[in-house]
């Protein structure tokens, strides 16, 4: 039975259409309002206009100087892209070892990967800050306020999840493929990068995207571990919105424009890799 037939069997067609329309409206109506508000004037948005009396892209031009969004976007894209690549690569190699080899402590490591997902990031903020601050005293390294310090913080939280995603996926790959490679004289690294990685591309993309989003959506760690020259887009947007609250006319239109610009890289990322997402998210769910 197809998915559509199964859905019609569970719900009457009229109810299914109603639920679909309501869910789409919940997502699309706020998005439409943000787009319209970004094309409206600040005074028009403040007065409660839903449909602008006049359309103007002025907010998209002003936001680059009023919020310094360019620096934040550049830092976010650089740090989050590096975190996504590093966590996907390290997670794949770590998962391959955990799945294909038996050694003392293997089960403990697997359980630890699951347990780490239950620790709130807010509990780790102070320990991470103290650790990074101490590195400057004991190692002579400046970590707090740098992009690579933020990279290390995000990688710490992204790597366990990426590893677990890859563990789940690699368990479903047949060992015969690797055995055939060994018969042909391939080394372990050659098998990993020439056989396992191409077959695991959907899961690698999913783990990379989730690692990217972890850093892109973060405000807490980026607020503490960065300086003005290294702050991310989320911090720039949060700071800009907070500093404009006491103005005579809040710059709602510019805030909406900045929000859309900040969301654009994530939307592009999903559109570019959408064909891998379904396979990667559902992989390993059925054994």
> How do residues 225-236 score in pLDDT, each as one tens digit?
888 888 899 888
Establish if 19 belongs to a structural domain. Answer: no
Interval 173-198 mean pLDDT: 85
How much is the pTM?
A: 0.83
Mean pLDDT of the residues in the chain:
84
For residue 205, the domain's CATH number is: 1.10.3720.10
Taken in order 195, 200, 201, 207, the sign of the CA dihedral is: negative
Judged against a pLDDT cut of 90, whether residue 279 lies above it is answered with no
Establish if 2 belongs to a structural domain. Answer: no
CA distance 122 to 66: 30
- Number of structural domains (the chain) is 1
pLDDT at position 3 is 55
Span of 89-93, 132-136, 168-172, 210-214 with lowest mean pLDDT:
132-136
Establish if 81 belongs to a structural domain. Answer: yes
pLDDT in tens, 13-44: 788 888 889 999 998 999 999 999 888 887 88
Establish if 22 belongs to a structural domain. Answer: no
CA distance 286 to 261: 38
Residue span of the structural domain in which 164 resides? 64-282
pLDDT in tens, 236-276: 888 887 776 555 567 888 888 988 999 899 989 888 888 77
CA distance 234 to 250: 19
Establish if 35 belongs to a structural domain. Answer: no
Establish if 36 belongs to a structural domain. Answer: no
Establish if 37 belongs to a structural domain. Answer: no
Establish if 50 belongs to a structural domain. Answer: no
């Amino acid at each position: 039975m197809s998915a559509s037939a199964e859905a019609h069997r569970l719900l009457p067609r009229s109810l299914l259409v109603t639920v679909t329309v309501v869910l789409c409206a919940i997502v699309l109506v706020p998005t439409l309002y943000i787009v319209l508000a970004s094309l409206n004037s600040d005074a028009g948005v403040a007065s409660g206009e839903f449909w602008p009396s006049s359309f103007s892209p002025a907010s998209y031009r002003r936001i680059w100087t009023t919020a310094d969004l360019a620096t934040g976007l550049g830092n976010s894209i650089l740090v989050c892209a590096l975190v996504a690549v590093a966590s996907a690569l390290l997670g794949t190699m770590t998962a391959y070892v955990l799945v294909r080899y038996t050694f003392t402590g293997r089960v403990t490591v697997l359980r630890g990967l699951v347990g780490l997902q239950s620790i709130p990031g807010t509990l780790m903020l102070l320990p991470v800050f103290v650790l990074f601050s101490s590195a400057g005293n004991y190692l002579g390294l400046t970590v707090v306020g740098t992009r690579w310090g933020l990279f290390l913080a995000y990688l710490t939280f992204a790597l366990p999840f990426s590893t677990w995603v890859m563990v789940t996926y690699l368990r479903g790959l047949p060992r015969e493929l690797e055995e055939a490679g060994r018969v042909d004289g391939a080394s372990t690294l050659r098998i990993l990068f020439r056989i396992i990685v191409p077959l695991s591309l959907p899961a690698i993309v999913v783990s990379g995207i989730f690692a990217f989003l972890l850093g892109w959506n973060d405000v807490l760690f980026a607020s503490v571990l960065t300086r003005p020259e290294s702050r991310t887009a989320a911090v720039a947007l949060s700071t800009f919105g907070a500093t404009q609250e006491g103005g005579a006319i809040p710059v709602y239109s510019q805030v909406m424009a900045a929000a859309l610009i900040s969301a654009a890289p994530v939307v592009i990322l999903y559109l570019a890799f959408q064909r891998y997402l379904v396979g990667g998210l559902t992989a390993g769910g059925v054994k």
